[in-house]
């Protein structure tokens, strides 16, 4: 630790002592924190949010793109995945075009089927209109967004509803409510 000598008047001596004490406390806290190792490596693992929709080609893709962007903007360290219960062969072209036109990355190149590992590793599973029979129960919290219309029927309404739900979920994750 480097010591810096400072000339002070008697009137500012109390403030210097208080500042010095505060700096020493912060140094001690920082040193203690840097030496601590988590007892449970999983405790330091970022939470995983899985978005599922029937075809893995539209609703879950929109939700995961919006969630990932907002999480990044708010400094949240999360893992985001999307999948379908009966995946289409490709991401819906209208969804990819919409995301790109609005400055979002398309989070997947091809829809994939949700797996048992997805269900057991996610801290939050968001089902957007899925039939869940035949799937293993999720380890984490199950959230159902069954009020989202099909983008093929009303893209603007589906998009708005997904954005609304994503904002609510981001707020919950920020408050630490993933379970």
What would the pLDDT profile of 30-70 be if each residue is shown by its tens digit?
344 444 444 555 557 899 999 999 999 999 999 999 999 99
Burial of 141 per CB tally in 10 Å (0-12, 13-18, 19+): middle
**Sign of the dihedral through C-alpha 147, 153, 154, 158:** positive
CA distance 78 to 64: 11
Q: Indicate if the alpha-carbon torsion angle 57, 149, 50, 120 is positive or negative.
A: negative
Per residue in 100-140, pLDDT (tens digit) is: 999 999 999 999 999 999 999 999 999 999 999 999 999 99
How far is residue 108's CA from residue 91's CA, in Å, rounded to a whole number? Answer: 8
What is the pTM (predicted TM-score) of this model? 0.74
Fold of 41-174: Rossmann fold (3.40.50)
Give the H or E element holding residue 168. helix 155-174
What are the residue boundaries of the structural domains of the chain, listed by start?
Answer: 1-36, 41-174
| Residue at token pair 């400094």 | 75
């Amino acid at each position: 630790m480097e010591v810096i000598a400072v000339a002070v008047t008697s009137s500012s001596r109390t403030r210097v002592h208080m500042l010095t004490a505060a700096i020493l406390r912060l140094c001690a806290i920082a040193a203690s924190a840097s030496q601590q190792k988590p007892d449970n490596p999983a405790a330091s693992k970022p939470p995983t949010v899985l978005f599922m929709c029937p075809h893995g080609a539209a609703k879950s893709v929109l939700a995961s793109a919006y969630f990932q962007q907002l999480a990044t903007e708010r400094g949240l360290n999360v893992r985001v995945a999307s999948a379908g219960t009966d995946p289409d062969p490709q991401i819906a072209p209208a969804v990819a075009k919409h995301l790109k036109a609005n400055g979002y990355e398309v989070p997947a190149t091809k829809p994939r089927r949700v797996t048992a590992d997805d269900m057991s590793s996610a801290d939050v599973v968001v089902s957007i209109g899925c039939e869940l029979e035949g799937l293993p129960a999720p380890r984490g919290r199950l959230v159902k967004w069954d009020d989202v219309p099909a983008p093929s029927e009303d893209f603007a309404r589906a998009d708005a509803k997904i954005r609304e739900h994503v904002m609510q979920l981001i707020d919950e994750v920020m408050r630490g409510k993933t379970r």
